[in-house]
Amino acid sequence: MNDTRFDPGQADGRWQRAWAEARAFKADSASNKPKSYVLEMFPYPSGRIHIGHVRNYTMGDVLARYKRMTGHEVLHPMGWDAFGMPAENAAMEQGVHPAGWTCQNIATMKGQLQRLGFALDWSREFATCDPAYYGHEQALFLDLYAAGLVYRRQSAVNWDPVDQTVLANEQVVDGRGWRSGALVEKRQLNQWFLKITQFAQELLDGLGELDGWPDKVRLMQENWIGKSQGLQFRFDLTNGDMVEVYTTRPDTIFGASFVAVAPDHPLAEAVAANNCEAAQFIAQCKRGGTTAAELETAEKLGFDTGIGARHPFTGETLPVFIANFVLMEYGTGAIMAVPGHDQRDFDFATKYGLPICRVIAPAGSNPDEPLTEAEPGDGLAVHSGFIDGMTVADARRAVIARAEAEGWGAGKTVWRLRDWGVSRQRYWGTPIPFIHCAACGVVPVPKDQLPVTLPEDIDFATPGNPLVRHPSWKHVACPSCGGAAERETDTLDTFVNSSWYFLRFASQPADRAFDKAEIAAWLPVEQYIGGIEHAILHLLYARFWTRALRHIGLVDVAEPFASLFTQGMVTHETYRSTGNDPRWLAPEEVERRGAEVVEKAGGQPVEIGRVVKMSKSKKNVVDPDDMIARYGADAVRWFMLSDSPPERDLPWSESGIEGCGRFVQRLWRLFGQHSSTVQGTDQALDRQAHKAIAAVGEDIAALAFNKAVARIYELASAVEKAAPSASRSAAIRTLVLLAAPMMPHLAEEAWAKLGEAGLVADAAWPAVDPALLVDDEVTIAVQVKGKLRDTLTVAKGLPQPDLEALALASDKVQRALDGAQVRKVIVVPDRLVNIVA
RNA sequence: GCCCCUGUGGCGGAAUGGUAGACGCGAACGACUCAAAAUCGUUUGUCGCAAGACGUGCCCGUUCGAGUCGGGCCAGGGGCACCA
């Protein structure tokens, strides 16, 4: 091994080909080794791999390679979440076909991933836009339909009247279509829904068992599911009608001073029908913005309907308002308002001069003290008839019991979670496999006619859904009566595609979506890695699909992802030119001159902005391919793992990647010093090497890659400093193996030069000799009153009295004691002595 | 508004209640070189010549001992949001 430089330019590709030829990372479902399924969230083929992908997939790759080395049969697959709007946008803007655009991107990005040397089983690769995938999805959708988990109903969508298209919420900017700028209308369409609410309790309970998930994500899902328990009850109205309200605070029912209904509540609409002031008020409410900032400042507004509501206990008549802060989508769309104990009600009551009455008071406080703001806290019921003196919890139960006994209300659980609307009025998605027949209604496409494929000859020049406009695609015979009928032209939300792809990776028979037994062999995914932005929707939908498929007997697993890891973003400094017309500058447009940063062209000073997530708009991006070309895949991978803990943001820096490139070369030079002839043992180095093996293994298993990296640096430094010995050569071989999951190309090259047989990718993780993990000498900290005064190096296991004597004998200790009386000595064996004077 | 997370050198960050700052980046000095690059070595929390003192956002507490545990603040970041 004479070469002084490792040349990634030729070595990377050579080893990538070697792995491919050996099918080194093909997962064998029939293997009897313990199985490990390592999965990173599959990418949307947007064009090119960005550095965030590199970080994500490097982490998974290190874990997958480590698992292989520790004797596991590893499934580490990759594919493409290939349906979605960017492809349609490209079609409209560039006149290309979404399929062609997508395939091109997949080819580009696959090449990029391969150049990073990821240990992926490419034989299982698929794209969700392939009929071989979405056809099975259609079959699963029909199975769920047959089980009653799919239904259709009217639902509002954002409609862009210029583009003749439905917009996602994110595409509505300030009430206007993002592309056309037209005022967006609400339209009612018949749409498909999945009954996720049927699984609300299960999905909530399941969170409790997901120990391998971050608490933060579990909490976010819990809040999203939003279970609340309360009382739903009826107010009889003075107009002979009645209104149902829902409250989580039945204990405050005696404090109700008015009833409020949502602007789109049927009662409000009935009032508006012959009261144009009411109609105007409702229209005004609907105009109001729904952004956070607008809601923050929005005033509580109401319209007194003149109708009265009879309080079920006091018989008092309460006014009924239409109020802008009541939501039709939650509960019953109507509330009993208790100003004393709800701030919104308080604000409203203050504005409209309604009574504010305290009905809960903290024990021992004066129940007649006036309220200056709503008190949502705990206490005892006051001014509350038969529940006076009860705790909040008792009062709740008592009121619910009375309502149920008297028949005007009942305890009820309400969920924030809504059923999942999966209809999208778009081309580039999975066609929903149904046919609309004038005679037979909605008819499922028979399974032997699946997949329902997308037509290829489409027109994107005209606005609207091309499937609707296509001359022939939707016209089919009804499967039931044979008469003329039309296909459903909606396609499925792309989140459906990503809700079961991890099952298809594990098992891909041709004739069905997956094989139950093969799924059982691989699932649950042992470690799932991805961005926090998927904490709610994707992860909740995937959990729901898995449970729904279990419900209909297709899988046995309940939770798809045993452990979840959400990695941080890759960030970079931003640069802005100075002068009259400041603009963002790319890293390659600027250079450092001492402490200053200037524009390369012209030399004007550059303002250094905040360190933020890499984005094209701020130009603070680096291209993974450029970095691979300059430093090699291993240096890029090493950088992704170094320094920052993986859950935190990683600031990209030019000097950082250069340092990684230098370390690759430094290791290479060190590997070159391996000799199989030199003799002699170096016990200290043996110890250090074995400690490193244990620590790096633990760190990788815990995804603490930054710590594993630091250990490898430490061992490398120690080996460099050590004199030649058999121990040193063994430590060099150990280093090759420890580096193998992180810098696989360098490790393969070194492994071959060391004369080892086979691929290092297939090598076993080095065994740890437990005897070498313990030192025979330890350093003892000697403290006086908790402050460090001295350290002692002593034999391990030295008895406490000896330690105490040695500590007291120390000059530094005596000086610190300064003749004071020793009152107490605390001795922690092999660790520390603390002398208290 | 509610909920959650995070505050440690110039920077990224280590640290089962037990020697704070491992490891990396940066910086300074030195060696090699005609010179540079590369490489190697030394130093690098603050104050201080030193002995030493101080030091993990702030205050209080528990403890022989607190970055770590408890209480109260402050700052930054994130999630949810008129959810009754």
The interface predicted TM-score (ipTM) is: 0.94
Would the pLDDT of A335 be above 60?
yes
Burial class (CB in 10 A: 0-12, 13-18, 19+), A658: middle
Which residue has the least CA–C1' distance to nucleotide B20? A788
Which residue has the least CA–C1' distance to nucleotide B10? A595
Three-state SS for A97-138 is CHHHHHHHHHHHHHHHHHHCCCCCCHHHCCECCCHHHHHHHH
CA distance A573 to A613: 9
More confident residue, A465 or A109: A109
Given a contact cutoff of 8 angstroms between Cβ atoms, the answer to whether A322 and A278 are in contact is yes
pLDDT per residue as tens digits for the range A213-254: 998 899 889 988 989 889 999 999 999 999 999 999 999 999
Which residue has the least CA–C1' distance to nucleotide B26? A655
What is the predicted pLDDT for the residue at A1? 40
Nearest nucleotide (C1') to alpha carbon of A660: B24
Q: What's the Å distance between residue A628 CA and nucleotide B73 C1'?
A: 48
Identify the DSSP state of A240: S
Nearest nucleotide (C1') to alpha carbon of A815: B51
Nearest nucleotide (C1') to alpha carbon of A649: B12
Q: What's the Å distance between residue A712 CA and nucleotide B29 C1'?
A: 28
Q: What's the Å distance between residue A778 CA and nucleotide B68 C1'?
A: 23
What is the predicted pLDDT for the residue at A292? 36
pLDDT per residue as tens digits for the range A804-816: 888 888 888 888 8
Closest CA to A277 of A285, A492, A779: A285
Q: What's the Å distance between residue A285 CA and nucleotide B78 C1'?
A: 31
Would the pLDDT of A515 be above 90?
yes
Nearest nucleotide (C1') to alpha carbon of A824: B64
pLDDT per residue as tens digits for the range A693-718: 999 999 999 999 999 999 999 999 99
Given a contact cutoff of 8 angstroms between Cβ atoms, the answer to whether A664 and A638 are in contact is yes
Residues of chain A above pLDDT 70, percent? 96
Beta pairing partners, A254: none
CA distance A246 to A333: 8
Q: What's the Å distance between residue A810 CA and nucleotide B50 C1'?
A: 21
CA distance A379 to A370: 16
Q: What's the Å distance between residue A61 CA and nucleotide B8 C1'?
A: 31
Which residue has the least CA–C1' distance to nucleotide B1? A296
Task: Please report, to the nearest 10 degrees, the dihedral formed by the alpha carbons of residues A360, A365, A370, A373 taken in order.
Answer: -60
Which residues fall within 8 angstroms of residue A574, CB to CB, at 6 or more apart?
Answer: A584, A608, A609, A610, A611, A612, A618, A619, A620
The CA-based angle A454-A460-A466, given to 5 degrees, is 45
Would the pLDDT of A578 be above 90?
no
Nearest nucleotide (C1') to alpha carbon of A650: B12
Which residue has the least CA–C1' distance to nucleotide B2? A223
* Residue A748 CA to its chain's centroid (Å): 34
Which of A272-276, A732-736, A769-773 holds the top average pLDDT?
A732-736
Q: What's the Å distance between residue A835 CA and nucleotide B17 C1'?
A: 17
Least confident among A73-77, A570-574, A778-782 = A570-574
CA distance A767 to A177: 61
Q: What's the Å distance between residue A68 CA and nucleotide B41 C1'?
A: 40
Q: What's the Å distance between residue A647 CA and nucleotide B58 C1'?
A: 28
Nearest nucleotide (C1') to alpha carbon of A811: B51
Give the largest CA-CA distance in chain A: 108
Which residue has the least CA–C1' distance to nucleotide B24? A643
Would the pLDDT of A469 be above 50?
yes
Nearest nucleotide (C1') to alpha carbon of A261: B84
Nearest nucleotide (C1') to alpha carbon of A5: B38
Question: Which residue in this structure is represented by tokens 């009062």?
Answer: A395
Which residue has the least CA–C1' distance to nucleotide B14? A707
Task: Give the pair of three-digit tokens for residue A54.
Answer: 């590199």
Which residue has the least CA–C1' distance to nucleotide B65? A786
End-to-end, the C-alpha distance of chain A in Å comes to 62
Q: What's the Å distance between residue A332 CA and nucleotide B47 C1'?
A: 68
Which residue has the least CA–C1' distance to nucleotide B84? A247
Would the pLDDT of A58 be above 90?
yes
Distances (CA, A) of A480 to A358, A435, A437: 64, 10, 9
Which residue has the least CA–C1' distance to nucleotide B12? A643
Q: What's the Å distance between residue A692 CA and nucleotide B47 C1'?
A: 38
pLDDT per residue as tens digits for the range A131-179: 999 999 999 999 999 999 999 998 888 788 877 777 766 666 666 777 7
Q: What's the Å distance between residue A786 CA and nucleotide B21 C1'?
A: 19
Per-residue pLDDT band for A434 (boundaries 50, 70, 90) equals very high
Q: What's the Å distance between residue A658 CA and nucleotide B44 C1'?
A: 21
Nearest nucleotide (C1') to alpha carbon of A793: B19
Alpha helices in A702-767 (DSSP H): 705-721, 726-739, 744-753
Q: What's the Å distance between residue A283 CA and nucleotide B16 C1'?
A: 63
Nearest nucleotide (C1') to alpha carbon of A325: B82
Which residue has the least CA–C1' distance to nucleotide B80? A223
Q: What's the Å distance between residue A563 CA and nucleotide B76 C1'?
A: 29
CA distance A823 to A723: 48
Nearest nucleotide (C1') to alpha carbon of A789: B19
Nearest nucleotide (C1') to alpha carbon of A643: B12
Residues of chain A above pLDDT 90, percent? 65
Would the pLDDT of A317 be above 90?
yes
What is the predicted pLDDT for the residue at A593? 62
Alpha helices in A382-536 (DSSP H): 392-406, 466-469, 494-497, 501-506, 516-522
Which residue has the least CA–C1' distance to nucleotide B82? A325
Nearest nucleotide (C1') to alpha carbon of A330: B83
What is the predicted pLDDT for the residue at A624? 93
Bases of strand B lying below 7 A from some protein CB = 1, 3-5, 11-16, 18-20, 22-26, 38-41, 52-54, 64-66, 78-84
CA distance A465 to A490: 9
Q: What's the Å distance between residue A787 CA and nucleotide B47 C1'?
A: 19
Alpha helices in A620-762 (DSSP H): 624-631, 633-641, 654-671, 683-701, 705-721, 726-739, 744-753
Q: What's the Å distance between residue A534 CA and nucleotide B73 C1'?
A: 34
Position A674: which residue type?
Answer: H
pLDDT per residue as tens digits for the range A590-634: 776 655 677 777 777 777 777 778 877 778 888 999 999 999 999
Pairing state between β A491-492 and A423-424:
antiparallel
Position A352: which residue type?
Answer: Y
Nearest nucleotide (C1') to alpha carbon of A654: B25
CA distance A744 to A16: 10
Q: What's the Å distance between residue A515 CA and nucleotide B11 C1'?
A: 52
Would the pLDDT of A2 be above 50?
no
Nearest nucleotide (C1') to alpha carbon of A828: B18
Task: Please report, to the nearest 10 degrees, the dihedral formed by the alpha carbons of residues A361, A367, A368, A370 taken in order.
Answer: -20
Question: Which residue in this structure is represented by tokens 């005064």?
Answer: A789
Nearest nucleotide (C1') to alpha carbon of A788: B19
What is the predicted pLDDT for the residue at A523? 96
What is the predicted pLDDT for the residue at A174? 65
Which residue has the least CA–C1' distance to nucleotide B23? A710
What is the predicted pLDDT for the residue at A604? 77
Q: What's the Å distance between residue A658 CA and nucleotide B74 C1'?
A: 39
What is the predicted pLDDT for the residue at A813? 87
Which residue has the least CA–C1' distance to nucleotide B66? A786
Would the pLDDT of A347 be above 80?
yes
Q: What's the Å distance between residue A132 CA and nucleotide B67 C1'?
A: 55
Q: What's the Å distance between residue A618 CA and nucleotide B38 C1'?
A: 35
C-beta atoms surrounding A470 within 10 Å: 18
